[in-house]
Protein backbone atom coordinates (compact mmCIF):
# COMPACT_ATOMS: atom_id res chain seq x y z
CA UNK A 1 0.00 0.00 0.00
CA UNK A 2 1.89 3.13 -1.15
CA UNK A 3 1.01 6.47 0.43
CA UNK A 4 2.20 9.77 -1.04
CA UNK A 5 2.38 12.23 1.86
CA UNK A 6 4.70 15.08 0.93
CA UNK A 7 6.77 14.44 4.06
CA UNK A 8 9.81 14.60 4.16
CA UNK A 9 9.69 15.69 0.48
CA UNK A 10 6.82 16.23 -1.94
CA UNK A 11 7.90 13.18 -3.97
CA UNK A 12 8.41 10.80 -1.03
CA UNK A 13 6.32 7.65 -1.04
CA UNK A 14 5.76 5.68 2.16
CA UNK A 15 5.12 1.99 1.47
CA UNK A 16 3.74 -0.70 3.78
CA UNK A 17 4.82 -4.18 2.67
CA UNK A 18 3.43 -7.41 4.09
CA UNK A 19 6.20 -9.91 4.67
CA UNK A 20 6.47 -13.28 6.36
CA UNK A 21 9.31 -12.91 8.87
CA UNK A 22 10.69 -15.09 11.63
CA UNK A 23 8.13 -13.40 13.89
CA UNK A 24 5.17 -14.17 11.61
CA UNK A 25 3.23 -11.95 9.23
CA UNK A 26 4.79 -8.50 9.62
CA UNK A 27 4.46 -5.13 7.94
CA UNK A 28 7.65 -3.46 6.78
CA UNK A 29 7.53 0.32 6.47
CA UNK A 30 9.79 1.74 3.76
CA UNK A 31 10.28 5.20 2.31
CA UNK A 32 10.93 5.61 -1.41
CA UNK A 33 12.76 8.86 -2.27
CA UNK A 34 12.94 9.49 -6.03
CA UNK A 35 16.14 11.24 -7.09
CA UNK A 36 17.49 11.99 -10.56
CA UNK A 37 18.30 8.64 -12.16
CA UNK A 38 17.55 6.52 -9.07
CA UNK A 39 15.25 5.85 -6.14
CA UNK A 40 16.61 5.61 -2.60
CA UNK A 41 14.76 3.09 -0.41
CA UNK A 42 14.97 3.61 3.34
CA UNK A 43 13.89 1.12 6.01
CA UNK A 44 11.71 3.01 8.46
CA UNK A 45 10.02 0.53 10.80
CA UNK A 46 8.63 -2.98 11.26
CA UNK A 47 5.18 -3.75 12.61
CA UNK A 48 5.31 -7.21 14.15
CA UNK A 49 2.44 -9.54 15.05
CA UNK A 50 0.98 -9.29 18.56
CA UNK A 51 -0.41 -12.36 20.29
CA UNK A 52 -0.03 -14.34 17.08
CA UNK A 53 -2.16 -11.87 15.06
CA UNK A 54 -0.93 -9.84 12.12
CA UNK A 55 -1.30 -6.07 12.26
CA UNK A 56 -3.54 -3.96 10.05
CA UNK A 57 -2.75 -0.40 8.99
CA UNK A 58 -5.99 1.46 9.79
CA UNK A 59 -4.98 4.96 8.69
CA UNK A 60 -2.00 7.01 7.49
CA UNK A 61 -2.08 10.81 7.58
CA UNK A 62 -0.06 13.87 8.56
CA UNK A 63 -0.62 15.94 11.69
CA UNK A 64 1.01 18.69 13.72
CA UNK A 65 2.01 16.83 16.90
CA UNK A 66 3.64 19.73 18.75
CA UNK A 67 1.46 22.64 17.59
CA UNK A 68 4.54 24.13 15.92
CA UNK A 69 3.26 24.00 12.34
CA UNK A 70 5.40 21.03 11.28
CA UNK A 71 3.62 17.99 9.90
CA UNK A 72 4.60 14.48 10.97
CA UNK A 73 3.48 11.16 9.51
CA UNK A 74 0.99 9.40 11.79
CA UNK A 75 -0.03 5.75 11.42
CA UNK A 76 -2.87 4.02 13.27
CA UNK A 77 -2.24 0.27 13.62
CA UNK A 78 -4.54 -2.42 14.99
CA UNK A 79 -4.27 -6.09 15.87
CA UNK A 80 -7.30 -8.37 16.21
CA UNK A 81 -7.77 -9.95 19.63
CA UNK A 82 -9.92 -13.06 20.00
CA UNK A 83 -9.64 -14.66 23.45
CA UNK A 84 -13.14 -15.92 24.27
CA UNK A 85 -11.79 -17.97 27.21
CA UNK A 86 -11.10 -14.68 29.04
CA UNK A 87 -14.08 -12.85 27.50
CA UNK A 88 -11.85 -10.58 25.42
CA UNK A 89 -12.65 -9.89 21.76
CA UNK A 90 -11.90 -6.79 19.71
CA UNK A 91 -8.92 -4.79 18.46
CA UNK A 92 -5.80 -3.49 20.14
CA UNK A 93 -4.71 -0.10 18.75
CA UNK A 94 -1.35 1.64 18.65
CA UNK A 95 -0.38 4.94 17.08
CA UNK A 96 3.08 5.49 15.60
CA UNK A 97 4.56 8.68 14.22
CA UNK A 98 7.52 9.42 11.97
CA UNK A 99 9.56 12.54 11.25
CA UNK A 100 11.71 13.29 8.25
CA UNK A 101 14.35 15.73 7.03
CA UNK A 102 13.58 17.48 3.80
CA UNK A 103 17.13 17.47 2.46
CA UNK A 104 18.77 14.74 4.50
CA UNK A 105 16.64 11.96 3.06
CA UNK A 106 16.08 10.52 6.53
CA UNK A 107 12.95 9.44 8.30
CA UNK A 108 12.70 8.01 11.78
CA UNK A 109 10.16 6.80 14.28
CA UNK A 110 9.23 9.38 16.91
CA UNK A 111 9.75 7.82 20.33
CA UNK A 112 7.37 8.72 23.12
CA UNK A 113 4.27 9.12 20.94
CA UNK A 114 2.50 6.69 23.30
CA UNK A 115 2.75 9.34 26.03
CA UNK A 116 0.66 11.68 23.86
CA UNK A 117 -1.60 9.09 22.24
CA UNK A 118 -1.66 5.96 24.41
CA UNK A 119 -2.42 2.53 22.94
CA UNK A 120 -5.74 0.98 23.84
CA UNK A 121 -8.43 -1.60 23.26
CA UNK A 122 -11.81 -1.50 21.49
CA UNK A 123 -14.32 -4.29 22.10
CA UNK A 124 -15.09 -6.53 25.03
CA UNK A 125 -12.27 -6.93 27.55
CA UNK A 126 -12.67 -9.26 30.53
CA UNK A 127 -16.40 -9.35 29.79
CA UNK A 128 -16.78 -5.54 29.85
CA UNK A 129 -17.29 -3.27 26.85
CA UNK A 130 -14.41 -0.80 26.35
CA UNK A 131 -13.99 2.01 23.85
CA UNK A 132 -10.66 3.25 22.51
CA UNK A 133 -10.79 6.99 21.78
CA UNK A 134 -8.17 7.27 19.02
CA UNK A 135 -9.25 4.90 16.23
CA UNK A 136 -9.40 7.46 13.39
CA UNK A 137 -7.38 10.37 12.03
CA UNK A 138 -10.26 12.66 13.03
CA UNK A 139 -10.04 11.45 16.66
CA UNK A 140 -6.31 12.15 16.77
CA UNK A 141 -6.50 15.51 15.03
CA UNK A 142 -9.22 16.57 17.48
CA UNK A 143 -6.96 15.56 20.39
CA UNK A 144 -4.09 17.56 18.88
CA UNK A 145 -6.22 20.56 18.02
CA UNK A 146 -5.44 20.23 14.26
Sheet bearing 13-21, strands edge to edge: 2-4, 13-21, 24-35, 38-47
Distance from C-alpha of 77 to C-alpha of 56, rounded to nearest angstrom:
6
Distance from C-alpha of 143 to C-alpha of 46, rounded to nearest angstrom:
26
Q: What is the pLDDT of residues 104-130, one digit of tens each?
A: 556 788 888 888 999 999 999 999 999
Q: What is the pLDDT of residues 33-43, one digit of tens each?
A: 888 899 888 88
Give the count of alpha carbons within 13 A of 53, CB side only: 16
pTM (2 decimals)? Answer: 0.85
The residue extents of the domains of the chain are: 2-144
Return the higher-pLDDT residue of 21 and 131: 131
Amino acid sequence: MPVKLGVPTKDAILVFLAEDTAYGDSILVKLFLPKPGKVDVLDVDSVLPQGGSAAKIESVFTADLKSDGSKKIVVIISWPVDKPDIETVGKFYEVRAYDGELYGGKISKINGINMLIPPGFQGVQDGKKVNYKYKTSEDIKKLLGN
